[in-house]
Amino acid sequence: MRTQRSRRIFVQLKSLFLVTTAGFTILWMVDFRFRDEPTLFFVVRHADRVDNQDALTEAGKARAQQLKSVLGPLRIKTIYSTDFIRTKETVQPLAESLSLAPVLYDKVSDDFLRKVKSEHLGQSVLIVGHSNTIGKIVMGLGAELEPAIGEKEFDRLFIVAIQNGKTAVIPLRYGE
């Protein structure tokens, strides 16, 4: 009798363990499966140029290729660029490799940044600007501090990650 009772308790405990394990597995799957995908904005200044010329230098063209290497594997869905030659040449290698046509924007405004944030939830987006607009873009996407970019700095890359209402900014450098 005792062995039969022990066996019944063992079977019940085993069933409880399997149900609990399955429940935790389902909870784990639901939690991660339906969690918001992060929205990632990659914000860069156009690549190297000489003084006030609009076209890129050879170093700038090389940096544009490096940008393609850095961001190419990251599933960029949209590329924003101003209508200057230097910004369009900066995004050209990446845009061609991803078969994307850059979306041109005129100026950095609150409306533009709200639109960009709302239209690209859960996506990865590249925004290329200028030394006097990168800080505004990063701030407008949710950064607490406006990054300063020097007139001769062409290697700054800011990743603005937004998930579940929280924003993180990661300042990096790329290229040589």
pLDDT of residue 106: 93
Residues 74/81, Cβ–Cβ less than 8 Å: no
Q: What are the backbone angles phi and psi of residue 127, rounded to the nearest 5°? A: -125, 125
CA–CA separation, 167 and 142 (whole Å)? 6
pLDDT of residue 1: 54
pLDDT of residue 5: 56
What's this model's pTM, rounded to 2 decimal places?
A: 0.79
- Only one residue has tokens 């800080």, namely 135
Q: What are the backbone angles phi and psi of residue 77, rounded to the nearest 5°? A: -100, -30
pLDDT of residue 176: 76
- Only one residue has tokens 């069933």, namely 15
Alpha carbon distance, N-terminus to C-terminus of the chain? 79
Which strand (E) or helix (H) includes residue 6?
helix 2-33
Which strand (E) or helix (H) includes residue 138?
helix 134-140
25: its two tokens: 């597995």
**Amino acid identity, residue 140?**
G
Q: Which residues in the chain show pLDDT less than 50? A: 9-34
pLDDT of residue 175: 85
pLDDT of residue 37: 85
pLDDT of residue 28: 38
Residues 123/78, Cβ–Cβ less than 8 Å: yes
Q: What are the backbone angles phi and psi of residue 55, rounded to the nearest 5°? A: -80, 160
